[in-house]
Structure 1
Amino acid sequence: MAPGPQTLAPSWFLDCDSEAVCAYASQAGKNNKDPIAIAEDLFYTVRDGIRYDPYQVSRDPEVYRASAIADADSNWCVPKSVLLTACARARGIPARLGFADVLNHLTSDKLSESMGTDLFAWHGYAELWLNERWVKLSTAFNIELCERFNVAALEFDPINGALMHPYDTTGRRHMEYVRERGSYDDLPLEAMLETFDEVYPNMEMSGASNDAAFRE
């Protein structure tokens, strides 16, 4: 389905018209008008410019705004996807968010114990309109993390997209997509947190309790 005007418009979370997001997005392909080249630069800027940290899950809606994420040194898959999506819109590329549940067969003992499971619900990625089609791009794992854990870093592919690898570089099972949760024009934070409360009842999350503040 071709993109509608909402895939280029600012929203509460995807505040692509904010000064912070515009400044971040301007780093990519400054003198290039080709959307593929801009998207590629944005992909690597977000992938490697923000270190992956799965322990930063919060209930505070403010930390999920793209303008707040732009200042982060580290974050997890959903905020990084929010930032890439907002940056793409800021550069005139239709973009939205995509989500799926994945099993991480190589989850660390520490993270597995914290979550109580190897299932990552609402794994986030960006969907960009490139070459007249929606392309799924995951920027979760930065290059340094991939090298440390023998996982091939995801590379930008404007045709096939870039989703998590099913195996690591040694042939061990890595990521398994088990459920698609669909595409969204803005972050469905309330639904995400409800799922987290069900799937991860013992996981601690920082920040204020979820309420209607982000709808204002």
Structure 2
Amino acid sequence: MKDFIEFGSQRIDFNIKFSKRKTLGITVNPEMEVIINSPENTPTDLIKKKVEKKAGWIIKQQSYFLSFHPRIKERKYVSGETHLYMGRQYRLKLTESKKSEVRYKGRFIEVYTPKKDKAKELVLEWYKIRAKAKFAEIAEPLIQKFKKYNVEPKGLYIQNMSKRWGSCTPKGKIILNPELMKAPKACIEYVIIHELCHLIHHDHTQKFIDLQTKEMPDWRRWKDKLENLLA
């Protein structure tokens, strides 16, 4: 069941799930969806009052998760266009060639292709290949560091995600978005540390925030950098 409330100038949409429980719970997931877990037969007016009471917290949680939503500007993948790699800007240089290859040289990302309309596909695949090696390199010392908490991820995986920079599955697999290759190293470390903290604390509780701050005291700086750089 779906409903909403108006809170100031904002509208808060939420999904209501009824079940045999005694108390009403409100959660905000990484997709910024608001889920109301409510006892059966709870009046809608009462649910709305509870949502209004927690509206400030809901908006704060949604804003927090927004930083994990990639907002990459649409690119045309033509010569002269700027693209980011590890936080630095490079210009795309397309060259017609019998071979299909991408490499970066100086301040250029050079794309060799027999068909220029294949440039996007080649560049995205190049980012993914680079991400697989680079993320593993960056993650290894962090994974070793977290062993003091008796945790270790089941694996590090690369996957395109429209709404997340990273995620940690219930089975302990850490998944990273290859778009992170466009960000500085510290931003990548921040996302990896964030997901490693989820091996210990599954929700974004104060204990989670405290652990993240302990392992990366300046994480807010890199969170903001990631949000603004790739917006």
TM-score normalised per structure 2? 0.27
Which structure has more relative contact order (CA 8 Å, sep 6+)? It is 1
Larger of the two Rg values belongs to structure? 2
Q: Which has the higher helix share?
A: 2
